[in-house]
């Protein structure tokens, strides 16, 4: 007897071994049809694999996340079968399910072409039509290795050889084709359905290591229903519409040139946005006790040797030799410059913590394949700072930085965060004792931050991902369409101050070495601007919009008044354009809406006579007619950056103009 308990609490008795499919059939033909796999006491289990003991069984369908994953995994297998049918001699390697889809890495001398994708997809559909039974088999390890080797499947043989000995090794057979796989799988290829599509071709290193040969990866997406597939493809189109490279051109924010790969040409509007962000950070960090400095972009090699960059970061640095044979480097980081500022005076413990900030433009030679719009560039501006403090102050200072950073993100609506602790890398300076201390300090900070965050902040570890001089906390934020971006960092550094022979006089009158904390909040201002463009899809909140208001006339009669309106709004600090062109108002509204101007102030004869403006919000269909003074005050208030808005809210309004 086998007793099966189901998720609804019911129990079923069977005389002997039973399969998930049997159980599903007993419950109903609809469920039998919909079931893809099951779990047995929580473990994934093939639908047709016998269960010979009492167990809790759950049936998995395409509606479950686990079911979708099965579909994607099977899609990978079916694709591999199709590829090997069409292109004999191609070796299979690995093919997992991933978010929204799957991929499979193949080894083949001939490159796949985009046209091949269509052929492969067609063959996949044929395999689904064949409805081949997918059968689980347990094989002996050595036999499996020999079997794959005999067929020239060297990668697969290598994978099996690396599997821990003693564990049962499972092979899934579908038709004439088979693959090593942990499973589970669908009962047959027909169950896969046809809601899939091959999406892209790419190279990928064997085992993810750039020293290994490059394989050919084919990506696809797969879903339980055609509608889900359609929705997903539609979502991709929408994401493309908010691509910052496209919006940057359409909104006239910036451009790139072939002769400066990875360096931005900011246009007036983009630079206005960029500077607005800098002003915002500047106010916030000044309030937190930072002083702002500026250090040279180019410094002598000897400085970089002291810092260790010349030895550890050279391949990322732009260097130059001058006529007099001196080596210089464009700064890839601001820390050595800030060390110089710190060191140029005798520091006492009373000066600590000393917080030095700089909107420093750094240059890094990034691999050509890494460049990507504003997101990955070779010259960028960091909202960088270094906190020099005593070891006793370290923890409290890290916590203060955390508060500052999280507060900043909230003002842009980024509330879901992951903070990763990146620990010591292989290539590093300093003793293990120092690394132990630094990693311990950050772990402690992280634990406290997570504990106090009400679940908004998640923590994880990135082993070996620290910088060569110290471990770091990486702040990863999630944007409006669910993508994660690493922006801020807090790095603890017990090394650089010593290398630079920096010191302070303690309360005991002796000389001590300070601890240094490196921090960036937005990280790269260029990249953060790109993230914001995509996050807001170009529809910036009023305070960030490069052009906040366009005053547009209906007829030439209103030109004089329009200029008056613009002057009044500009006097209130707003960024205003005037559109006096001899065009229809429809045309003007359409054009300014396309470039995402948040407010269009329409003025015609009527408004001129009544001294009003008709405000039209981006995306809105209606207008609001306000007296000019009223419109000015409303917009001025709305255009306040969040920090200044809070300050104003905290101070009872007096009707007096506030001086920033």
The yes-or-no answer on residue 581 being catalytic is: no
398 belongs to an annotated ligand binding site: no
Q: Does 493 bind RNA (CB under 7 A)?
A: no
Task: Give the nearer residue to RNA in terms of CB position, either 468 or 500.
Answer: 468
Say which of 105, 179, 383, 384 is annotated catalytic: 384
Q: How far is CA 82 from CA 85, 108, 124, 186, 587, in A?
A: 5, 14, 6, 17, 53
Q: Are 270 and 248 in contact (CB under 8 A)?
A: yes
Figure out which of the listed residues 176, 209, 432, 508 binds RNA, where binding follows CB under 7 A.
Answer: 209
309 belongs to an annotated ligand binding site: no
Q: Does 193 bind RNA (CB under 7 A)?
A: no
518 belongs to an annotated ligand binding site: yes
Say which of 156, 363, 400, 518 is annotated catalytic: 518
Near RNA by CB under 7 A, which window of 317-325, 390-398, 504-512, 606-614? 606-614
The yes-or-no answer on residue 518 being catalytic is: yes
Figure out which of the listed residues 37, 554, 635, 639 binds RNA, where binding follows CB under 7 A.
Answer: 554
Figure out which of the listed residues 69, 526, 534, 579 binds RNA, where binding follows CB under 7 A.
Answer: 526
Identify the three-state secondary structure at position 202: strand
The yes-or-no answer on residue 364 being catalytic is: yes
Say which of 91, 216, 382, 393 is annotated catalytic: 382
Residues shown for the chain: 660
Task: Give the nearer residue to RNA in terms of CB position, either 593 or 634.
Answer: 593
Task: Give the nearer residue to RNA in terms of CB position, either 535 or 616.
Answer: 616
Q: Does 288 bind RNA (CB under 7 A)?
A: no
Shortest distance, CB of residue 226 to RNA, whole angstroms? 23
Q: Does 249 bind RNA (CB under 7 A)?
A: yes
DSSP state of 41: T
The CB density around residue 516, as the number of other CB atoms within 10 Å, is 28
Q: Does 10 bind RNA (CB under 7 A)?
A: no
Figure out which of the listed residues 24, 78, 97, 204 binds RNA, where binding follows CB under 7 A.
Answer: 204
- Residues binding RNA: what is the number (CB under 7 A)? 72
Q: Does 278 bind RNA (CB under 7 A)?
A: no
Q: How many CA atoms lie within 13 A of 516 on its CB side?
A: 28
Figure out which of the listed residues 602, 626, 628, 639 binds RNA, where binding follows CB under 7 A.
Answer: 602
The yes-or-no answer on residue 335 being catalytic is: yes
Q: Which of 374, 376, 340, 378 is nearest to 358 (CA)?
A: 340
Q: Which of 555, 576, 554, 581 is nearest to 564 (CA)?
A: 576
Q: How far apart are CA 137 and CA 172, in angstroms?
A: 6
Task: Give the nearer residue to RNA in terms of CB position, either 210 or 654.
Answer: 210
CA angle 233, 235, 241 (to 5 degrees): 110
* Count of helix runs (H) and strand runs (E) in the chain: 21, 33
Q: Does 371 bind RNA (CB under 7 A)?
A: yes
Near RNA by CB under 7 A, which window of 82-90, 398-406, 618-626, 633-641? 618-626
Q: How far is CA 34 from CA 8, 190, 213, 374, 657, in A?
A: 18, 12, 41, 46, 67
The yes-or-no answer on residue 472 being catalytic is: yes
The CB density around residue 350, as the number of other CB atoms within 10 Å, is 8
The pattern of x and - marking residues 424 through 463 that bind RNA according to CB under 7 A reads: ----------------------------------------
The yes-or-no answer on residue 234 being catalytic is: no
Q: Does 251 bind RNA (CB under 7 A)?
A: no
Near RNA by CB under 7 A, which window of 110-118, 227-235, 385-393, 631-639? 110-118
Q: Does 607 bind RNA (CB under 7 A)?
A: yes
Residue 474 neighbours by CB under 8 Å, 6+ apart: 419, 420, 421, 422, 462, 465, 486, 488, 489
Say which of 38, 335, 398, 487 is annotated catalytic: 335
Task: Give the nearer residue to RNA in terms of CB position, either 130 or 249.
Answer: 249
Q: State the DSSP string of 129-195.
A: HHTPBEEEEEE-HHHHHHHHHHTT-HHHHHHHHHSPTTS-EEEEEETTEEEE------SBGGGG-S-
Q: Does 605 bind RNA (CB under 7 A)?
A: yes
Shortest distance, CB of residue 221 to RNA, whole angstroms? 12
Q: How far apart are CA 270 and CA 278, in angstroms?
A: 12
Q: How far apart are CA 383 and CA 381, in angstroms?
A: 7
Q: Does 623 bind RNA (CB under 7 A)?
A: yes
Q: Does 168 bind RNA (CB under 7 A)?
A: no
Figure out which of the listed residues 297, 557, 577, 638 binds RNA, where binding follows CB under 7 A.
Answer: 557
Q: Does 258 bind RNA (CB under 7 A)?
A: yes
Figure out which of the listed residues 28, 50, 203, 482 binds RNA, where binding follows CB under 7 A.
Answer: 203
Near RNA by CB under 7 A, which window of 27-35, 38-46, 435-443, 485-493? 485-493
Figure out which of the listed residues 158, 366, 448, 638 binds RNA, where binding follows CB under 7 A.
Answer: 366
Q: Which of residues 27-86 bind RNA (CB under 7 A)?
A: none
Q: Does 555 bind RNA (CB under 7 A)?
A: yes
Near RNA by CB under 7 A, which window of 25-33, 199-207, 271-279, 643-651? 199-207
The yes-or-no answer on residue 285 being catalytic is: no
Q: How far apart are CA 398 and CA 387, in angstroms?
A: 9
Identify the three-state secondary structure at position 304: helix
The pattern of x and - marking residues 569 through 598 that bind RNA according to CB under 7 A reads: -------------xxxxxx-xx--xx----
- The reply to whether omega before 24 is within 30° of 0 (cis) is no
- Residue 51, beta-bridge partner list: 18
Burial class (CB in 10 A: 0-12, 13-18, 19+), 10: exposed
Q: Which of residues 210-229 bind RNA (CB under 7 A)?
A: 210, 214, 216-217, 219
Alpha-carbon dihedral angle through residues 67, 69, 70, 76, given to the nearest 10 degrees:
150
State the Rg of the chain over Cα.
Answer: 31
Q: How far apart are CA 474 and CA 333, in angstroms?
A: 17
Q: Are 19 and 158 in contact (CB under 8 A)?
A: no
Figure out which of the listed residues 11, 113, 279, 403 binds RNA, where binding follows CB under 7 A.
Answer: 113
Shortest distance, CB of residue 146 to RNA, whole angstroms? 30
Q: Does 535 bind RNA (CB under 7 A)?
A: no
Task: Give the nearer residue to RNA in terms of CB position, either 42 or 369.
Answer: 369
Task: Give the nearer residue to RNA in terms of CB position, either 122 or 214.
Answer: 214
Q: Does 524 bind RNA (CB under 7 A)?
A: yes
Identify the three-state secondary structure at position 445: helix
The CB density around residue 478, as the number of other CB atoms within 10 Å, is 15
Query: What residues act catalytically?
Result: 335, 364, 382, 384, 386, 472, 518
Which amino acids are annotated as binding site for Zn(2+), given as ranges?
335, 386, 518
């Amino acid at each position: 007897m086998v007793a099966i308990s189901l998720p609804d609490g019911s129990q079923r008795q069977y005389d002997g071994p039973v399969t998930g499919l049997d159980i599903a059939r007993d419950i109903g033909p609809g469920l039998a049809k919909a079931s893809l796999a099951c779990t047995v006491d929580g473990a994934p289990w093939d639908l047709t694999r016998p269960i010979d003991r009492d167990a809790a069984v759950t049936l998995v369908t395409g509606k479950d996340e686990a079911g979708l994953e099965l579909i994607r995994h099977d899609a990978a297998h079916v694709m591999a079968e199709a590829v090997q049918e069409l292109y004999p001699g191609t070796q299979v390697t690995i093919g997992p399910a991933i978010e929204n889809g799957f991929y499979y890495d193949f080894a083949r001398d001939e490159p796949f072409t985009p046209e091949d994708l269509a052929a492969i997809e067609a063959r996949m559909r044929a395999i689904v039509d064949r409805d081949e039974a997918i059968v689980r088999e347990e094989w002996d390890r050595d036999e499996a290795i020999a079997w794959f080797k005999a067929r020239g499947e060297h990668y697969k043989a290598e994978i099996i050889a690396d599997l821990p000995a003693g564990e049962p090794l499972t092979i899934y057979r579908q038709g004439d084709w088979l693959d090593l796989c942990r499973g589970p799988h669908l009962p047959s290829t027909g169950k896969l359905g046809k809601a899939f599509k091959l999406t892209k071709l790419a190279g990928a290193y064997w085992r993810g290591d750039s020293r290994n040969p490059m394989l050919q990866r084919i990506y696809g997406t797969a879903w339980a229903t055609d509608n889900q597939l359609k929705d997903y493809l539609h979502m991709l189109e929408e994401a493309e519409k908010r691509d910052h490279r496209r919006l940057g051109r359409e909104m006239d924010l910036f451009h790139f040139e072939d002769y400066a790969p990875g360096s931005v040409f900011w246009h007036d509007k983009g630079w206005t946005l960029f500077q607005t962000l800098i002003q915002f950070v500047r106010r916030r960090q000044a309030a937190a006790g930072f002083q702002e400095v500026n250090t040279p972009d180019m410094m002598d090699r000897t400085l970089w040797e002291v810092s260790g960059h010349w030895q550890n970061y050279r391949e990322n640095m732009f260097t130059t030799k001058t006529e007099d044979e001196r080596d210089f480097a464009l700064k890839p980081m601001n820390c050595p410059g800030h060390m110089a500022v710190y060191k140029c005076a005798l520091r006492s413990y009373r000066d600590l913590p000393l917080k030095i900030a700089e909107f420093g433009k750094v240059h890094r030679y990034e691999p050509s394949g890494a460049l990507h719009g504003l997101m990955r560039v070779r010259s960028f501006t960091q909202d960088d700072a270094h906190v020099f403090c005593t070891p006793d102050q370290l923890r409290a200072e890290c916590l203060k930085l955390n508060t500052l950073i999280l507060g900043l993100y909230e003002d842009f609506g980024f509330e879901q965060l992951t903070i990763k602790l990146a620990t010591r890398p292989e290539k590093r300076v300093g003793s293990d004792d120092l690394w132990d201390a630094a990693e311990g300090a950050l772990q402690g900070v992280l634990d406290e931050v997570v504990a106090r965050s009400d679940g908004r902040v998640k923590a994880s570890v990135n082993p070996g991902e620290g910088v060569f001089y110290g471990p770091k906390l990486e702040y990863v934020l999630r944007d409006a369409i669910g993508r994660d971006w690493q922006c801020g960092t807090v790095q603890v550094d017990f090394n650089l101050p010593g290398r630079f022979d920096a010191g302070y006089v303690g309360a005991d009158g002796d000389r001590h070495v300070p601890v240094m904390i490196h921090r960036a909040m937005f990280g790269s201002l260029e990249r953060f601007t790109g993230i914001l463009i995509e996050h807001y899809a170009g529809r910036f909140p009023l305070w960030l919009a490069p052009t906040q208001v366009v005053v547009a006339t209906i007829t030439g009669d209103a030109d004089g008044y329009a200029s008056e309106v613009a002057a009044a709004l500009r006097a209130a600090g707003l960024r205003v354009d005037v559109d006096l062109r001899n065009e229809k108002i429809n045309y003007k509204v359409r054009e300014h809406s396309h470039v995402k101007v948040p407010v269009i102030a329409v003025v015609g004869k009527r408004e001129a006579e009544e001294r009003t403006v008709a405000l039209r919000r981006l995306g809105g269909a209606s207008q609001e007619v306000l007296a000019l003074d009223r419109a000015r005050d409303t917009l001025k208030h709305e255009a306040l950056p969040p920090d200044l808005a809070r300050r104003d809210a905290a101070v009872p309004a007096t009707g007096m103009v506030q001086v920033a």
